[in-house]
Amino acid sequence: MTAATFLRIGTRRAQLVGCLLLVALVVSGCSGGGQGAYIIRPHYFWDSLLSPSPTIVNAIGLTLGISVVAQFIGVVLGVFAAMGKMARFVPFRIVANFYIWIFRGTPLLVQLSFLFFGLQTARVFMWPSVVFGPIDILPEILAGIVILGVNEGAYMAEIVRAGIMAVDPGQTEAAKSLGMTFRLTMTRIVLPQAARVIIPPLGNEFNNMLKTTSLLSALSIFELYTTFSNLSAVSFAPFELFGACAIWYLLLTTLWGFVQSWIERKFAKGTVGSQTQGPGWRMRLMGRTSFDADARSLGGH
């Protein structure tokens, strides 16, 4: 297979197919040789993917739920922190900068441990359990969501700030000249336009969030990673099960990629060349960029 044909298939699709093939081949066919070697039991892999147990389904739901709520908290905090950072009133700037400094400057794992175990053990703050309609949210899950969200807010702040700064100052002036207050100017004029700039990196952040939830295993939350980790400990099939676990994450992030490009197209309203804003999901899957580059290079020779 020449490099050109490889590129023509599309790098991303090739990667995906390649990985799947590799995992499938290894899991279904081989087994280690020799006495006392690891015996691969493919059904652990296939079952957890094709007929996932309720435990796994719950874990996926939990991972998704935590990610969505934590990201939402992150966006809201990010907007406030960004505006705090840009405020004329100095104390706002100090608070915003301090918050961003702390949460970007320390590892999330340390934040989780300190703010959950640390505070609980020292009885500084006891995380409550919250009943939310039919769902009973355990203290560790609440803590997990909040800490992930607060951590995310510190990163979102910079993204939101860049988005706000990308909006033409003339827009604010026009809004002001029409008698809009700061709040109206922000919510009706500036943030909707900043959203266009914010959404692509926000999509990245959410992709990260989906995977970062795995750190919640530190709080013994049965999200995707912890669940598979436990399953593999019980069955002693870490090869098959962590492989399957990876596939589940890949599925979530891939699906999110489709949703993201759909959202990006929706928000491109009123921009020059709305239709070309962000590649469509089909283009993404086909890895169009590399195809184009390849086509160009072929045309050049």
Partner 1 sequence: MTAPSISTNLLGAIGGVPRPETDVVVDAREVNKWFGRLHVLKDVSLQVKLQETVVIIGPSGSGKTTFIRCLNHLEKIQGGRIFVNGHLIGYRESAGGTKLVEDKEKNIARQRQEIGMVFQRFNLFPHMTALENIVEAPIHVRGTSRDEAMATGRALLERVGLAAKEDSYPNQLSGGQQQRIAIARALAMKPALMLFDEPTSALDPEMIGEVLEVMKELAREGMTMIVVSHEMGFAREVANRVVMMDDGVVVEEGTPDQMFSAPTQDRTKAFLSKIL
Point out which residues bind partner 1 (CB under 8 A).
Answer: 168, 170-171, 173-182, 184, 188-189, 192-193, 269-272
Q: How far is the CB of 193 from partner 1 (least distance, A)?
A: 6
Nearest partner of 245 among 211, 207, 203, judged by Cα? 211
Q: How far is the CB of 92 from partner 1 (least distance, A)?
A: 14
Name the residue nearer to partner 1 (CB basis): 185 or 214.
Answer: 185
Name the residue nearer to partner 1 (CB basis): 113 or 171.
Answer: 171
Name the residue nearer to partner 1 (CB basis): 52 or 192.
Answer: 192
Q: Which two tokens stand for residue 228?
A: 């598979």
Alpha helices (runs of H) in the chain, residue ranges in sequence order: 3-9, 11-29, 42-50, 54-86, 90-105, 108-112, 119-121, 139-165, 169-177, 182-184, 191-212, 224-235, 238-267, 281-286, 288-300
Name the residue nearer to partner 1 (CB basis): 105 or 169.
Answer: 169
Q: How far is the CB of 275 from partner 1 (least distance, A)?
A: 13
Name the residue nearer to partner 1 (CB basis): 80 or 239.
Answer: 80
Q: How far is the CB of 268 from partner 1 (least distance, A)?
A: 10
Name the residue nearer to partner 1 (CB basis): 176 or 211.
Answer: 176
| Helix (H) or strand (E) segment spanning residue 132 | strand 130-132
Taking a C-beta distance cutoff of 8 angstroms, is the pair 74, 149 a contact?
A: yes
CA 74 to chain centre: 11
Q: How far is the CB of 199 from partner 1 (least distance, A)?
A: 13
Q: DSSP letter at 187?
A: I
Q: What is the largest CA-CA distance in the chain?
A: 82
Q: How far is the CB of 176 from partner 1 (least distance, A)?
A: 6
Establish how many alpha carbons lie within 13 A of residue 154's alpha carbon, considering only the half-sphere containing its beta carbon. Answer: 19
